[in-house]
Copies of this chain bind each other. A is one copy, B any other.
Amino acid sequence: MGPMSSDHDVPGPPPVVPDPLVDPAPARRLCPAEAARTVVAEATTGALAMRVDDGHPWAALVRYGLLDDGRPVLCVSSLSAHGSALADDPRCSLLAWAETGGDPLAAGRVTLAGQAIAAAGDAGARAAHLAAAPEAAAYIDFGDFDLWVLAVERIRWVGGYGRMAWVEPGAYAAAEPDPTAPAARGAVAHLNADHADALLEVARALCGHPDATAAQCLSIDRYGLDLRIDTPRGIAAGRASFAQPVTAPDGLRAATVALVRAARAVG
């Protein structure tokens, strides 16, 4: 599946997206496996699709923890409407999504499809669930609650409109969640609220749009930031990459300051 602009059967001319006037530096961004691991690691709440009765698909809200390789650990009451579904048929999918406060379909989400494996008595699975869902301590040892580990067979990542990929299970298991993700939403809000001028400098000097009139940060990750760039030629998307990947949430600030400094050195 290609990008949205080439695949859709659009009724009329597509909107004009201006090309850069100057070639920007090659952009580095989270690969789909890293992006998928990041969405799954941040969410802790998801929707579980199961087969009930004669195979009707059923969706339920669940909390989940994660093993080190990204396999989710669920804790499901056998007394709930869907409680016996996994015991009757282990096929399931877990959907996790990013909370951005904006259009949810413009944000990331991941579907992990596979088989639920019973994990009763698995101390590692129990600890993983509790680490993500501490409120489960109130019921995880009730006799009617069962632990399940999702053996992941297929992974679909959607990064927003027109950004999507299948991720190989091995790549998913090996990828590192973005360590800066817990600070990203706050950083985006801060940049847009207090540093619009600096973002404009970055857009002009590093993203190839020297005629930009405004720039808004759409997202930030360990490798850089995505910008919406207003130009007299139309609205462009831009990406500016940090000199080095950031390794901790509190590193985003220094990396962004260095990026603005680099923009000023160029511009």
Q: Which residues of A contact B (CB under 8 A)?
A: 1, 7-11, 45-51, 55-61, 63, 77, 79-81, 91-95, 97, 103-106, 109, 111, 113, 135, 139, 141-144, 156, 158, 161, 164, 166
Contacts and interface: CB of A to CB of B under 8 A. Distances in A.
Given A11-B141, A49-B49, 15 more contacts: A7-B144, A8-B77, A8-B144, A9-B142, A10-B143, A47-B49, A47-B59, A49-B57, A51-B55, A55-B91, A57-B58, A58-B111, A59-B111, A80-B158, A80-B164
Contacts of A48: 59
A1 to B, nearest CB: 6
Contacts of A113: 56-58
A169 to B, nearest CB: 15
Given A79-B1, A164-B81, A95 B55 contact: no
Contact of A143 (B11, B55, B97, B143): B11
Contacts of A61: 95, 97, 104-105, 109, 158
Contact of A50 (B9, B57, B164): B57
A65 to B, nearest CB: 14
A96 to B, nearest CB: 9
A94 B93 CA distance: 14
Contacts of A8: 77, 79, 139, 142-144
A92 B47 contact: no
A92 B57 contact: yes
Contacts of A50: 49, 57
Contact of A93 (B9, B58, B106, B111): B58
B7 A56 contact: no
